[in-house]
Amino acid sequence: MIAVPSPQQMTVAAYLDWEPRQELRYEFVNGSVFAMTGGSLPHNDIAINLLTVLRPHIRKQGCRINMADAKVNITPQIYRYPDLAISCDERDKTALDALRYPKLIIEVLSSGTETLDRSDKFKEYRSLPSLEEYILISSTQIEVEIYRRGEGRLWLYTAYQAGDVIQLESVGFEFPIELLYEDVRLESEGTGE
């Protein structure tokens, strides 16, 4: 999804009251709201493929997996909408407005979101003590990057490409990267028209 700045400034309380009544979803960062616009079909297909493969495993663990319409409360002044988020924290199981303790956050990259997902969002997500893994999935080529929490402020980086098996250590799950891209027409393949 792409965040588009909106000229509105508001308090957190006003945002939490206003945002559920809007047609679009809005992220909230330090008093500013950003409209979330739709992603590409490959972006959507990849997110659905991942949700489909992960959901049965996550449910067996008693965890919660949410897609793009579920926001994550990062700080009292920041609410974001990742493409997928998984929380196994008891406090999030009954959450109604936002997850607060995700252990795994996933963003599907697109040209409009990649810089934000790699910079500001990653910096914000790293501040969540519960977060164990942050995953970036390309929507233009077969490529996945995973950042795993190490000791202290260290984050370990692993890149995956075609033919690799992806390991999600935070939830004890692995799958071939090709499952993410099943029936997905990548931008790098051209339109064929």
Q: Which two tokens stand for residue 110?
A: 């697109």
Sorted by sequence, the CB contacts under 8 Å of residue 47 that are 6+ apart come out as 39, 67, 68, 83, 84, 106, 108
What is the per-residue pLDDT across 79-107, written as a single tens digit (0 to 9) for each?
999 999 999 999 999 999 999 999 999 99
Give the three-state DSSP class for 121. helix
Specify the pLDDT at position 192: 46
Cα separation, 108 vs 179, whole angstroms: 14
- CATH code, residues 39-189: 3.90.1570.10
pLDDT band at 171 (very low <50, low <70, confident <90, very high): very high
- CA 125 – CA 120 distance, rounded (Å): 9
The tens digit of pLDDT for each residue in 53-69 reads: 999 999 999 999 999 88
Token pair belonging to 64: 């919660």
Identify the sign of the CA torsion 21, 119, 84, 181. positive
Report phi then psi at 64, rounded to 5: -120, 130
Angle at the Cα of 66 from the Cα atoms of 61 and 70, rounded to 5 degrees:
145
Q: How confident is the model at residue 6 (pLDDT cuts 50, 70, 90)?
A: low
| pLDDT value at 120 more than 90 | yes
Q: Could you give the 3-state DSSP secondary structure of residue 37? A: strand
What is the model's pTM? Answer: 0.92
Task: Give 121 or 189, the one with higher predicted confidence.
Answer: 121
Give the CB-side neighbour count of residue 103, counting CA atoms within 13 A. Answer: 17
